[in-house]
Amino acid sequence: KENAIKYGIADSAAMANGLPIEDELTWSMKGTMIKSDLMVLDLLAHYDWTRPIYFAGNAAAHGDLQKYFQMEGLTYKLSPHRISGRVPVGTDSHTFNESKTYDNFMNNFAYGNMQDPDVFVDYYTLRMVRNIRFQFSGFASELIDNARNATDSIVRQEKFKKAEEILDRCFEVMPLSNVAPDDAVYHYLVRHYFDLKHENPEDAELGEKVDSIARLLVDKRLEDLAYFAGLDGNWTGKQLKEIGKSLYHLELLRQSSIPEEVMTKYRIAQQNNQDVDEKDYYGILYGTDYDQLLVDMGQQLNRMMRETKGDELKERYREILRSKTTFPPELVYGWMPYLFQ
């Protein structure tokens, strides 16, 4: 313990927040071991906590040991704290070392000029971009959660401000205009922006910034949906997973853009058969042709099922359409209730 504190391996902020240094690190290993596992065991058996140990890549590859990993941007540092699992009630989350991660993202990391329109970001580079955006998103999410849990108003505002700066930095160095949106990660980044907007609705500048970014993404997904709705039946079947992805992303943006109290008010009014404001339901999608595209998409999918030859292929399409992880189930049920009979 003394060395972990002396050499700066322990997270002082986590300790101040009530997260203790463990007496010992215990973890389980399942299945077989390979040479790299033996190397890690040997390293830890002789570790005296005088210098940090970092792991790059997928933390899950190290199994149960990852509960002692703390992210510092793009690498995991072995921590003397139990970062996940048995965390004291009422304390902040410390999946990320806040000060080091913030400094790395804001000041230390170089991003390869991806914001430059003369730099081409190809599909291979996007694999790394996805990981970078994922860590930006995770860090912003943790800052927002810790801000909401803060009892001190100054600490609360500082963490919200840090989260906004982190999101601004992410969109500055990897803008949508030059770096294509990846799967769900980009949309979660926008959702965190909406979280900040809902926490501070009086900040007009923040609201305008969030809405402008979200609308760019909405326009992109609506454009994709319009393209899919115009395909013939054969090609529609080959793009089912991409169609489902676009629908899920649009739903994520819609729901994220609506404050919880507004959505609750809408649901209550609807249940009581009272007049409702459509803007309370559609949020950022209000005023777009989203509804018409949903109608077109439903007709297209029904036409695809009618025209598909072969029971095996039809059954494969049914499985994809009924999968809750691929398509929003409420949409599919509205379009094709016979699939669920």
As a three-state string, the secondary structure of the chain is CHHHHHCCCCCHHHHHCCCCCCCCCCCCCCCCCCHHHHHHHHHHHCCCCCCCCEECCCHHHHHHHHHHEEECCCCEEECCCCCCCCCCCCCCCCCECHHHHHHHHHHHCCCCCCCCCCCCCCHHHHHHHHHHHHHHHHHHHHHHHHHHHCCCHHHHHHHHHHHHHHHHHHHHHCCCCCCCCCCHHHHHHHHHHHHHHHHCCCCHHHHHHHHHHHHHHHHHHHHHHHHHHCCCHHHHHHCHHHHHHHHHHHHHHHHHCCCHHHHHHHHHHHHCCCCCCHHHHHHHHCCCCHHHHHHHHHHHHHHHHHHCCCHHHHHHHHHHHHCCCCCCHHHHHHHCHHHHC
Same domain, 30 and 159: no
167 found inside a domain:
yes
Examine the pLDDT at 255 and tell me if it is beyond 50: yes
Examine the pLDDT at 240 and tell me if it is beyond 90: yes
153 found inside a domain:
yes
Residue 181's pLDDT is what?
A: 84
Pairing status of strand 69-71 against strand 76-78: antiparallel
84 found inside a domain:
no
| Residue 85 pLDDT class (50, 70, 90 cuts) | low
Would you mind telling me the total number of residues written for the chain in this entry? 341
Examine the pLDDT at 27 and tell me if it is beyond 90: no
Tens of pLDDT, residue by residue over 136-168, are 999 999 999 999 999 999 999 999 999 999 999
Same domain, 203 and 270: yes
| Residue 20 pLDDT class (50, 70, 90 cuts) | confident
Here the tokens at position 98 are 């806040």
Encoded amino acid at 220, one letter: K
Same domain, 30 and 137: no
116 found inside a domain:
no
> Which distant-in-sequence residues (6+ apart) come within 8 Å of 312 by Cβ?
none
Same domain, 66 and 131: no
Examine the pLDDT at 328 and tell me if it is beyond 70: yes
| Residue 88 pLDDT class (50, 70, 90 cuts) | very low
What's the average model confidence in pLDDT over 99-115?
Answer: 96
Phi, psi at residue 76, to the nearest 5°?
Answer: -100, 130
Residue 89's pLDDT is what?
A: 44
340 found inside a domain:
no
What does the alpha-carbon distance between residue 309 and residue 332 come to, in Å, rounded to a whole number?
Answer: 21
Encoded amino acid at 17, one letter: N
Same domain, 38 and 137: no
Its pTM stands at 0.87
Residue 340's pLDDT is what?
A: 83
Same domain, 71 and 129: no
Long-range contacts for 271-280 (Cβ within 8 Å, ≥24 apart)?
A: none
What does the alpha-carbon distance between residue 136 and residue 261 come to, in Å, rounded to a whole number?
Answer: 27
Phi, psi at residue 77, to the nearest 5°?
Answer: -100, 135
Residue 31 — left, alpha, or beta (φ > 0 → left; ψ -120 to 50 → alpha)?
Answer: left
What does the alpha-carbon distance between residue 26 and residue 30 come to, in Å, rounded to a whole number?
Answer: 14
What does the alpha-carbon distance between residue 294 and residue 330 come to, in Å, rounded to a whole number?
Answer: 12
> What domain count does the chain have?
2
Tens of pLDDT, residue by residue over 123-133, are 888 888 999 99
| Residue 61 pLDDT class (50, 70, 90 cuts) | low
Residue numbers of the domain that contains 189: 124-300
318 found inside a domain:
no
The strand pairing partners of 69, in sequence order, are 78
Pairing status of strand 69-71 against strand 54-55: unpaired
| Residue 234 near residue 244, CB atoms below 8 Å | no
| Residue 105 near residue 139, CB atoms below 8 Å | yes
197 found inside a domain:
yes
